[in-house]
Chain A
């Protein structure tokens, strides 16, 4: 077994038997379920408050109107304005609606209220509009066929040109979830990797290990080890989640997975991991502890989150300038290109250029990280300043 794999195995076994890791492994799905369930639960208990309105209906649209309003708006017929007002003053109704005989001509109606919410007002107004339109169409003495013709919605169908794949919302969902999971894997594994490098310095183990293996073996071993740990975490969570999706929903999971561009997502995810891991492991080698991390170190930690700034403009305009820039910029391309490809297929040429830039950047960052790692791991007692790191980069190869 090579030294890189020995280090990787050690990192995996040590963490798999670590209480914190196991707790994180088990707690994360629970937290995620809680994040999904809690808003649903809140929504369940947060039903809109019921409001009761008396309706003085000279326009004779009451049955239609009652059908058009949502359940929480209760409409009760009142013979006259005085009776309706008396009901409001007695607290039996929250207001009364005056529909004059001219309502069908003018569209004018009055709501005299004691209590009203913006939502109730909007819903009532929408219901009145629908009733008004329906009644006016009826009054125009058109045949049912003509009525259907007039009110039929447009039917927009998407047809692929040149065998480009058609948009599929299920595929988009699967791709988005896959990208999100890979992002979580990269960020959590990267952070653990940084802490591991930092621990190596803090526990004064770096020099002991470096007397047996080369610095580059140690770095590679850590990167691979934490990648495997991340994959184990992810596999565990997916194993829990997939049966739940299949059993509890009617989502066509397998069709959507096979339709999505999974190889591209995995390829860019791997490159993204290598890039982030190299940055984080190099960074960990420059830090004594997390609390005293400097601004520049904080900025590097934030680099992987940059993609989220671009998500909204990319979704709105997947072939716009912003989307193209973010697909080529190596610190965002591994997320943005795959998101773009799920929304609107990206050309092979673009994928090739983006991959080339990302691979080149990853190679450069790994080389820089290896230099920083070699020197940084043996510097004890303080965080390195950017100036020191710059000096380390110019040291001769060790």
Chain B
């Protein structure tokens, strides 16, 4: 079974302004692809084109199912959790889930059984007959996730699935997303929570201003997006280290804490070899820039290093 989702040279403009500009990526079955970018980068437009809610001006979105390329958007095989989401406030939970599953061609009796199973799994077993307006925000979020996956979709598109969730529920949802990927779903995930993306995603695709900035595995992106940084804890200062020619710049974070950014291309080994004799420090960590740092750099218009 080889399922995949591919965006090929997809473009979209509104009122003469290009909001998605020749975007291409591919996600395979069992893989979680993180679609990242600052606000207004074109993520939601890209997702809406994948969903067939809007059509690309040029380029194609291809769904391959069981090795066969599908015609159009196989809506019944897709589970979608949009960023702007809600629930009918006056509807009952079970009634709503059965209706939404029905739109994906799931018969009512089957939908009810699946809904019960998911409600139990996500600690909502007692709320099947509750009205949506009686639910807390976190509960409603979980109902929305159930609505997106109740029909066992082969392609799952999650736009900010963790917003508004507490850490306990975040862990619960993370586990479910991993499980869905392990069962062979193609998962496209968009989120601003970089720590979660780092934890979950196998592949990352970063866009800004409608254009691709960087893509690949987390490791590849970190490699291509920046030099190492050295975090130092020392009561004696870092003057000696700061004078080294392989240091780009130094930031003081506190009385005894510093960050030294290494010049592009300098490896940790080279830095370690260059530490002068007698240089004293309590702690020293050499790390790649976090996804958060890369994201912030892109969002604020920083150049690729």
Contacts and interface: CB of A to CB of B under 8 A. Distances in A.
B135 interface: no
Given A6-B102, A396-B55, A211 B90 contact: no
A378 B53 contact: yes
Given A205-B86, A378-B48, A212 B100 contact: yes
A270 B91 CA distance: 30
Interface string A369-398: 000000000101000000000010001111
B277 interface: no
A14 interface: yes
Interface string B80-96: 10101111111100000
Contacts of A18: 90
Contacts of B91: 14
B251 interface: no
Interface in B51-101: 51, 53-55, 57, 75-76, 78, 80, 82, 84-91, 99-100
Contacts of B100: 208, 212
A370 to B, nearest CB: 14
A207 B45 CA distance: 12
Nearest to B73: A211
A391 B17 CA distance: 13
Contacts of B84: 204, 207, 378, 380
B109 to A, nearest CB: 15
Given A212-B75, A378-B53, A395-B14, A207 B85 contact: yes
A262 interface: no
A211 B147 CA distance: 11
Contact of B86 (A204, A212, A215, A397): A204
Interface residues of A, number: 24
Interface string A1-30: 001001000100010001000000000000
A277 B82 CA distance: 28
A109 B67 CA distance: 109
Interface in A182-213: 199, 203-205, 207-213
Nearest to A379: B84
B104 interface: yes
B235 interface: no
B88 A14 contact: yes
B15 interface: yes
Contacts of A212: 75-76, 100, 103-104
Task: Report the interface size class on chain B.
Answer: 20 to 34
A396 to B, nearest CB: 7
A215 B53 CA distance: 8
A214 to B, nearest CB: 8
Nearest to B57: A396
Contacts, number: 64
B82 A211 contact: yes
A203 B75 contact: no
B53 A207 contact: yes
B91 to A, nearest CB: 6
Contacts of B54: 398
A205 B87 contact: yes
Interface in A83-105: none
A212 B73 CA distance: 10
A156 B100 CA distance: 67
A397 B89 contact: no
A208 B147 contact: yes
Contacts of B57: 396
Nearest to A14: B91
A203 B78 contact: no
B53 A211 contact: yes
- The residue among A3, A208, A210, A398 with the most chain B CB atoms within 10 A of its own CB is A208
B103 A213 contact: yes
B103 A3 contact: yes
A395 B102 CA distance: 31
A203 B87 contact: yes
A10 B82 contact: no
B103 A391 contact: no
Contacts of B53: 207, 210-211, 215, 378, 398
B88 A205 contact: yes
Nearest to B50: A211
A34 to B, nearest CB: 29
A209 B147 CA distance: 11
Interface string A215-232: 100000000000000000
B99 A211 contact: no
Contacts of A6: 99, 102-103
A210 B144 CA distance: 14
B51 A211 contact: yes
Nearest to B85: A204
A24 to B, nearest CB: 15
Contacts of A199: 88
A211 B78 contact: yes
Contacts of A398: 53-55
Contacts of A204: 82, 84-86
Interface in B252-283: none
A211 B75 contact: yes
A152 to B, nearest CB: 69
A397 B57 CA distance: 10
Contacts of A210: 51, 53
A203 B86 contact: yes
A211 B14 contact: no
Contacts of B99: 6, 10
Residue picked from A18, A204, A209, A380, most chain B C-beta under 10 Å:
A204
Q: Give the 10 A-B CB pairs with smallest separation, nearest first.
A: A204-B86, A212-B103, A211-B80, A207-B82, A203-B86, A398-B55, A398-B54, A204-B84, A210-B53, A211-B51
Given A203-B86, A204-B84, A205-B88, 5 more contacts: A207-B85, A211-B78, A212-B75, A212-B103, A395-B14
Interface of B: 14-15, 48, 51, 53-55, 57, 75-76, 78, 80, 82, 84-91, 99-100, 102-104, 144, 147
14 contacts: A6-B102, A10-B99, A204-B85, A205-B85, A205-B87, A207-B48, A207-B84, A210-B51, A211-B51, A211-B82, A212-B75, A212-B100, A396-B57, A398-B55
